[in-house]
Amino acid sequence: MGKYIVFDGMDGSGKGTQLRLLEKDFSHAAVFTREPGGTPLAEDIRKIVRDSPLARKSTALSNFLLFWAAREELQQNFVTPMLRSGEHVLSDRGDSSTFAYQICGEEHEELLDLFVSMRKLVFDEDAGRRAPDLYIIFDLPSGVARARVMQDSCREKTHFDARDIGYYERVRNGFRRFSERHPVIFIDAMQTPEEMHRSLVKILATEMLETNLPLQFDLA
Ligand code: TYD
């Protein structure tokens, strides 16, 4: 079985740039995907949750379930078959985002029990599924994250971006809270891109070498 590793963190953390670099380095050693998305139906759901004004006006529960519907689709049709065939799966975001954004950022603690139930169903080991083996979460002060997002003229802003500082702070604390119960390594996103890249290559090589797949990295 391959390893299932999720990359997550606040917008503005440089996660996108790092993932693009890793895709080049590890294209021979792992398959890449993203959430919400990664299958045709999940990509359709992505358009709805990111861009639809109707989704924005819907209830917190309905938004939460849309993210889980996309995740279920991705597990069934991509992640599980890939892991079974021995591939490592590296995902841009995962259920850690639902916890940090929908429950903590948007302040919907009432969804917590449902979050635990959805995890059991969607990552059900009895059904041959698996929860991520590791979450690599990019961490940085919320003020810096927000300022970077707002200053990034290339970035197509979504409704997730244009929120107040309190929201960014709650999301950051949400990721920390998530790490109390799940296997998380935090990456300090105040480091230079080169430093972050070096740490990430080291972590991935160590994680993925365990399964004896060929890797062309010098770990020294
Ligand atoms: P995107 O602009 O692609 O974010 P990024 O490039 O920073 O990953 O859009 C994804 C947005 O969706 C991001 O702001 C976080 C949000 N999101 C949730 O709110 N809940 C979730 O469960 C997931 C997977 C993402």
Q: Whose CA is nearest to atom 4 of ligand 1?
A: 11
Atom of ligand 1 nearest to the CA of 36: 24
pLDDT tens, residue by residue, 36-57? 999 999 999 999 999 999 988 9
Q: Which residues contact 7 (CB under 8 A, 6 or more apart)?
A: 15, 18, 19, 90, 91, 92, 93, 135, 136, 137, 138
Query: The pTM is what?
Result: 0.93
Task: Decide: 16 in ligand 1 pocket, CB within 6 A.
Answer: yes
Q: How far apart are CA 100 and CA 38, in angstroms?
A: 21
Chain center to CA of 76: 17
Ligand 1 atom nearest to 67, measured from its CA: 22
User: Among 36, 17, 31, 151, which residue's Cα sits nearest to residue 84?
Assistant: 31
What integer best gives the mean pLDDT of the chain?
93
CATH number corresponding to 4-33+83-209: 3.40.50.300
User: Which ligand 1 atom is at minimum distance from the Cα of 34?
Assistant: 24
Please work out whether the CB of residue 35 comes within 6 Å of at least one atom of ligand 1.
yes
Contacts with 212 (C-beta within 8 Å, 6 or more apart), sequence order: none
Q: What is the pLDDT of residues 191-216, one digit of tens each?
A: 999 999 999 999 999 998 765 444 45
Q: Does the beta carbon of 98 sit less than 6 angstroms from any atom of ligand 1? A: yes
- Assign residue 81 a region (left: φ > 0; alpha: ψ between -120 and 50; beta: otherwise): alpha
Q: Which residue's CA is minimally distant from atom 22 of ligand 1?
A: 98
Q: What are the residue boundaries of the structural domains of the chain, listed by start?
A: 4-33+83-209
Q: How do residues 20-33 score in pLDDT, each as one tens digit?
A: 999 999 999 999 99
* Structure token digits, residue 96: 């850690």
Are 63 and 50 within 8 A, CB to CB? no
Q: What is the pLDDT of residues 88-144, one digit of tens each?
A: 999 999 999 999 999 999 999 999 999 999 999 999 999 999 999 999 999 999 999
In angstroms, the CA 2 to CA 12 distance is 29
